[in-house]
Structure 1
Amino acid sequence: MKPIKFPSAQTILLIIAGLVTLLTWLVPAGKYQTLSYNKETNLFTQIGIDTTTTLPATQKTLQALNIKIPLDKFTNGDIYKPINIPDTYQELEARPQGFYDFVKSPVKGIIEAADIIFLVLIIGGLIGIINSTGAFDAGISWLANALKGREFILIILVTTLVAAGGTTFGFAEETIAFFPILIPVFLAAKYDAMVGIACIFLGSSIGTMCSTINPFSTIIASDAAGISWTTGLWGRVFMLIACLTIALIYIIKYGKRVQKDPTQSIIYDQQQQIAALFTQSNTKTIQFTSRLRLSLIVFALCFIIMIYGVVALEWWFVEMTATFLVGAILIGFIAKIKETDFIDTFVKGAGDLLGVALIIGIARGVTVIMADGLISDTLLHYASALTTGMNKGVFASAMTAIYAGLSFFIPSSSGMAVLTMPIMSPLADSVGIGREIVVNAYQYGLGLFYFINPTGLILASLAVVKVGFDKWLKFIMPLFVVLIVFTLIVMTVSSYI
């Protein structure tokens, strides 16, 4: 009898999509009214179930709607998405999703996630081009020799830098680009691929979980809660340092164990498969010519320019994708790759990440089913009612758990903030604590569940390296439990300070 094999990422997501489809038959449909600001007309638009009303953009209008957010948060663009209006939840006629809706959801998800999907495919093409030149292999060989005996520096450096990106500008989807680039470096340092996955994914996850100045979570959530984003900042800085330190200790200990005895690797049975995936079959020594050096410089500049554009120029997926496309073309010219060879290599590189792109689309399809079934706001309404009558400490921990649960259905940090904060943040007033506790609960709950959330980026990240979700769960669970306990202790203590 053959052992039962853990399902692929695509199958897991389709199972989840099927369960969510069934959920639309069990959870009542409902919706909050929303409010959005129109910069051109300087007016608010209130959208109800069957009505659309235009209101003057004044603080008095916000007060009348029980929205305790300063007007300038809307007018200066801090809040740019429609927000839910408190106390306007209304049950609607059920809109259960059927088999046909389930079948269409991955297609709709792929269409909705087209921006990030094209980013992933173009990055795949760029990596195919740089690999074909041999420049990347030569650079990895040099780095491995330079770090010999001090490989732990690589763990600290990569994890810390990625976390810095996460805490400042929400470095998350962009990390997909770094797996094919950095995994070979970790393999050359005698680690397994799990160490590389952990450094990149956990670094990003902890950075975004403990966001300090991230405009897509901390700032937009604080604005939607009606408080300054600097309120509670030092507590988040403490959490960032503490959680990052815990994660680094865990990864380094695991990495040293694998270096001493490769059979201790959780993915030891895939060692040869992964090594073949990330190393070139051509074993001859490649001369590190000026052309190869220039190719690597252009390759590195693509990522530097991308990060600068996101942070300083308000770039998003279209601009990032264009940057990588231009980089691939420039490297093709520098390395004197023939036009037909360039196209074939680029398409093959993009094809290598097509599975990742499909995972992203299917995951988005789960969100599409919930939106079409009108159950997202119902879950939020029920969640907000759970905290009635709680004491401070229990409230802080319960709110963290609630946000962790909601993040399965609303994996977007900015989407979660604008939809939930106007509803959840006033609950802090009723138990006598600061609203920054709710903002922190939102960040920590969302961030903790993100480690294992199949509707987030973890399945797409694992697919790049061909590692199963079951292997990841085996690796992450001890650290996950430690961080949950630590976070709940911090939240409980902070609610009484």
Structure 2
Amino acid sequence: MKRKVIQERKREFPHVFVILLAIIVIVCILTYIVPAGQYQRVLDDVSNRMVIDPDSFAYMDSTPVNPFKMFVALIEGLIQASNITFLIFSAFSCLYLIEQTGALDASIALMVRKTQAKPKYATAILIMIMIVLSAWASTGTMSYEEIIAFIPVFLALSLALGYDALVALGISLLPVGVGFSSATVNPFSVGVAQTIAELPLFSGIGYRILVLVVMTTVTIVYVLTYAKKIQKDPSKSIVAGLDYSDVEIDEERMQTPFTKERKISICILFIGIGIMAFGLIKLKWYINEIAAIFIIVSILVGIVNKWNANKITNTLVAGLSKGVVSALVVGVARGILVVLTKGNIIDTIIHSAASALESLSLYASSVGMLVLQNLINFLIPSASGQAAATMPIMIPIADLIGINRQIAVLIFQFGDGFSNIFWPTGFVLIACTMAKVPINKYYKWIIPYFIICFILQIVFIFGAIAMNYGPF
């Protein structure tokens, strides 16, 4: 028994903070090894941003970062990322409060009940469910955490309609993954990345909407093609032979009524998102204003549900705990940048990477950046954390090789988002456990879909380069 416990501990994947701290230690060691160097930064008259002068790189005296300064850099990183950290806290608290009203449960339960009530219209209703979940997730206000709780419900529904457990994941996990990846106004991925890239918040939304539409359509076709095949011949199911006889719908969650208060709560959330979009486009709002909207939405939803001030406040405080990891990961990841900067090796790394990529075409370089972001997401599955860790390096590289910053953000959101449905370090293992799908069966089903998505990502990136997709 003791040996079994030890073996399980050995197989445990390191926490994201452990990974980030290990990276900081490695980076500190590198400040003693990698030659220090520096580019000159100049103001670009067109974009009004500080950019690297590509001909100005020069080596300089070494400035290694000692262990004590490493921990100071960690604190400085948390301070530097404070605006993004508080945006994440505000968003998580708001979404947690809405979740506690039962509005999210009622919304999803309503969609499931509609499908149960009209099985002959099941295909049309499932398509609508996938579209709604994808569009909703693209705003960052519907995430894996919310949908995973409903996977057993979707599992029971899929089996009742003559489908299998993989279809349950296809109509729940995949749309949320696609929506989150397309990130129309997702503050946790595009919002953080564009802030670091000094781009107008949520700029370039038109192209991301196109990505959302195409990727959602491909997902629907892939899932329903498989669903129809196994409905016609159950033996062709990848999970054929597995016992699902004990699967039942969670009646308690299914009976969550979509009351007037809950309907108004969802409306307030989407009105808030609409106001954010208007403010960003017309009023030049930025992170602070967006965080304020989330707080206002929280208060209004609490009032609509007849909560007193103490209950609203206590719920928001409880919601903060849900966002601690995501929020602090940004600051800890920023500590890596602080160490690289203090050690004066960040420009040396950028210079070496840019020199290697300059010999390639923009198209080949973009694919290399996409592959790298996919690999990094295995280690740092947090969107905001990955943005904070990689964008300070990716943006200057993009500047030097001629890829504009909006495309660099697009590459980041693809590499971070779509691989969440592939790497086991995210929510894949949890989702498979909830759907009672062996992980090897899941990969047999998901790999063809992931390859299709990866090819489409490259097509979208190439299209963005061809049209010089920029901050509009």
1:11 and 2:18 aligned: yes
The CA deviation at 1:342 is 2.4
Which range is displaced more, 248-257 or 358-367?
A: 248-257
SS in 2 for 1:366: helix
> What's the counterpart of residue 154 of structure 2?
189
> What's the counterpart of residue 199 of structure 1?
175
Q: CA RMSD in A?
A: 5.3
Partners of 1:345 and 1:216 in 2: CA distance: 25
Partners of 1:240 and 1:136 in 2: CA distance: 22
SS in 2 for 1:35: strand
2:323 to 329, 350, 353: 353
> What's the counterpart of residue 401 of structure 1?
368
Mapped contact 1:187–1:193 kept (Cα < 8 A): no
1:151 and 2:126 aligned: yes
SS in 1 for 2:140: helix
1:267-307 per-position Cα deviation (integer Å, ceiling 9, x unaligned): xxxxx9xx9xxx9x976955544333323322332223223
The CA deviation at 1:263 is 11
The CA deviation at 1:9 is 2.2
Partners of 1:250 and 1:85 in 2: CA distance: 47
Question: For 1:56-455, what aligned pairs fall within 5 Å after superposition?
Answer: 71=45, 73=46, 79-148=47-116, 149=122, 150-159=125-134, 175=140, 178-184=143-149, 188-190=153-155, 196=172, 198-206=174-182, 285=255, 288-387=258-357, 396-398=363-365, 400-401=367-368, 405=372, 411=387, 419-425=396-402, 442=408, 446-451=412-417
Mapped contact 2:110–2:258 kept (Cα < 8 A): no
SS in 2 for 1:151: helix
Cα pair distance change 1:202/1:22, threshold 3 Å: farther
TM-score, length-scaled by structure 2: 0.64
Cα pair distance change 1:389/1:302, threshold 3 Å: closer
The CA deviation at 1:327 is 1.4
> What's the counterpart of residue 32 of structure 1?
39
Aligned amino acid, residue 19 of structure 2: I
Mapped contact 1:27–1:375 kept (Cα < 8 A): yes
> What's the counterpart of residue 470 of structure 2?
none
> What's the counterpart of residue 160 of structure 2?
none
Partners of 2:168 and 2:318 in 1: CA distance: 25
Partners of 1:480 and 1:80 in 2: CA distance: 38
> What's the counterpart of residue 23 of structure 1?
30
Partners of 1:340 and 1:490 in 2: CA distance: 48
Mapped contact 1:36–1:80 kept (Cα < 8 A): yes
Aligned amino acid, residue 103 of structure 1: F
The CA deviation at 1:439 is 7.8
Partners of 1:201 and 1:283 in 2: CA distance: 23
The CA deviation at 1:142 is 1.3
Cα pair distance change 1:201/1:377, threshold 3 Å: farther
Cα pair distance change 1:197/1:110, threshold 3 Å: farther
SS in 2 for 1:336: coil
Mapped contact 1:97–1:373 kept (Cα < 8 A): yes
Mapped contact 1:158–1:200 kept (Cα < 8 A): yes
Aligned amino acid, residue 262 of structure 2: L
Mapped contact 1:404–1:446 kept (Cα < 8 A): no
Residue ranges of structure 1 left out of the alignment (5+ in a row): 38-70, 74-78, 164-173, 209-213, 224-228, 265-271, 426-435
Residue ranges of structure 2 left out of the alignment (5+ in a row): 117-121, 156-166, 185-189, 240-246, 377-384, 434-438, 467-472
Cα pair distance change 1:184/1:442, threshold 3 Å: same
Partners of 2:216 and 2:176 in 1: CA distance: 12
Which range is displaced more, 296-305 or 283-292?
A: 283-292
TM-score, length-scaled by structure 1: 0.62
The CA deviation at 1:186 is 5.8
